[in-house]
Amino acid sequence: MEWENQTIRVEFFLKGLSGYPRLELLFFVLILIMYVFILLGNGTLILISILDSHLHTPMYFFLGNLSFLDICYTTTSIPSTLVSFLSERKTTSFSGCAVQMFLGLAMGTTECVLLGMMAFDRFVAICNPLRYPIIMSKNSYVPMASGSWFAGVVNSAVQTMFVVQLPFCRTNIINHFSCEILAVMKLACADISGNEFIMLVATTLFTLMPLLLIVISYSLIISSIIKISSSEGRSKAFSTCSAHLTVVIIFYGTILFMYMKPKSKETLNSNALDATDKLISMLYGVMTPMLNPLIYSLRNKDVKEAVRLLKERFISK
């Protein structure tokens, strides 16, 4: 699958788990089950946040956005990955690859920024509860959520635009399950230092800055909770942000594990991902969206009650 002296790509070959047919079948079943849970769990959270008037608050507005985002994020890659597991044809068109790059990066960036906005919401709710209705009014939280989506779209559009303009004349084999932007960049037969610099700036702005906001917010939240005299008050205050904190730890913890864990010399020299790295990468894109609804429903009485009422409404019909 090599091309020489060409700069126009018609299609790319997604290597995925080629060479591991038994693993492909196993992970087809596993990922399909997880995808169904993602659709049902996040779809339910979106539905109750719309139908239940008690959940018409900034926190659940952000949660509804996060659930919709998780559905969009997984839908950009999982269906095509499932098809590739069962099909001998594992190719994707250049335009299809560009669309997948754009959507995947846009959803990932939006989630980072949105988690930062949710941390700020929890900070105001716990550290400044009397002014919470004023600070987090509809005129504030709607633009905050919209700004998260806008940041994701702009960042992804800029990075994808620069990547698709690169010449690809070495190989068309992407050593990944999907058109992940870094994996595609490595196929270019040109200097990609400019693209890497843009990616570094974008990572700083849209990944590390939201993480810094989260760290500062929770540092102030913990400091405020410690000052509460009663143990019941401390427990109640912590319970309002524990679900979001759990999601943040899983989301950023998996990113740090993926990109900062030491690689073997063979992997570094061959510039290729082994099967374990690929599976971790794939599960990262599925595990967090699947766990989010579970975390919020298990730790939140309002969500449990809203789900119960939703069940009764459908049963009565």
281 in a domain, yes or no? yes
Determine the pLDDT at residue 136: 94
Residue pair 214/115 in contact (Cβ under 8 Å)? The answer is yes
Span 176-199, average pLDDT: 84
Q: What is the DSSP secondary structure assignment for residue 204, as one 8-state letter?
A: I
Q: Nearest-CA neighbor of 257 among 234, 223, 239, 283?
A: 283
92 in a domain, yes or no? yes
5 in a domain, yes or no? no
State the CATH number of the domain containing residue 188.
Answer: 1.20.1070.10
pTM over 0.95: no
Residue 290 corresponds to which tokens in the numbers above? 């699947």
- Number of structural domains (the chain) is 1
Which residues form the domain of 228? 11-259+276-301
1 in a domain, yes or no? no
221 in a domain, yes or no? yes
6 in a domain, yes or no? no
Residue pair 63/129 in contact (Cβ under 8 Å)? The answer is no
Q: What is the pLDDT of residues 65-86, one digit of tens each?
A: 999 999 998 998 888 888 888 8
Per the model's pLDDT, the better-predicted residue between 16 and 159 turns out to be 159
206 in a domain, yes or no? yes
Determine the pLDDT at residue 271: 41
Q: What is the pLDDT of residues 234-285, one digit of tens each?
A: 888 888 788 888 888 888 877 776 665 555 444 444 444 456 666 666 767 7
Determine the pLDDT at residue 272: 44
Beta strands 91-93 and 11-14, pairing class: antiparallel
**Where is average pLDDT lowest: 20-29, 100-109, 111-120?**
20-29
316 in a domain, yes or no? no
